Amino acid sequence: MSKFAVAAAVTFILAGCSSGVGTPTRLAKGANGGIWTSRPASEVQACINQIAPSTSVGTRYEVTENDTSKTIYPTTVSVFNADSESNSTTVKVVESCTIPRN
């Protein structure tokens, strides 16, 4: 297969993957990290409010409800860490609060 054919095929595949619904939203400006989840934003926020005040000194979480006609994930959680020492706690909070419930 020629280089042109390979490049054209890759471009076509990537264009199909990146157009329309299915791409995650951007994280909030200034966020150090984040995650997208299928859990409703209200559930995620309630979970973070319950866990975070006692475990995440110096970390702030911003939960955003997304328009599902434009993105596959209904909720985005942006994380703002004040220092790197809170990273393991942040991972625990985000994992606990964003894993979909069965």
**Stretch (H or E) spanning 27:** none
Which pLDDT belongs to residue 54?
A: 57
Residue 66 belongs to some domain of the structure: yes
Residue 71 belongs to some domain of the structure: yes
Q: Which two tokens stand for residue 24?
A: 């995650």
Beta strand 59-65 with 75-81 is: antiparallel
Which pLDDT belongs to residue 15?
A: 39
Model confidence at 2: pLDDT above 60? no
Residue type, 22: G
Which pLDDT belongs to residue 37?
A: 92
Which pLDDT belongs to residue 16?
A: 40
pLDDT band at 9 (very low <50, low <70, confident <90, very high): very low
Residue 2 belongs to some domain of the structure: no
20-72 confidence digits (pLDDT tens): 555 678 899 999 888 899 999 999 999 988 887 655 567 888 999 999 888 88
In the chain, the number of structural domains is 1
Residue 13 belongs to some domain of the structure: no
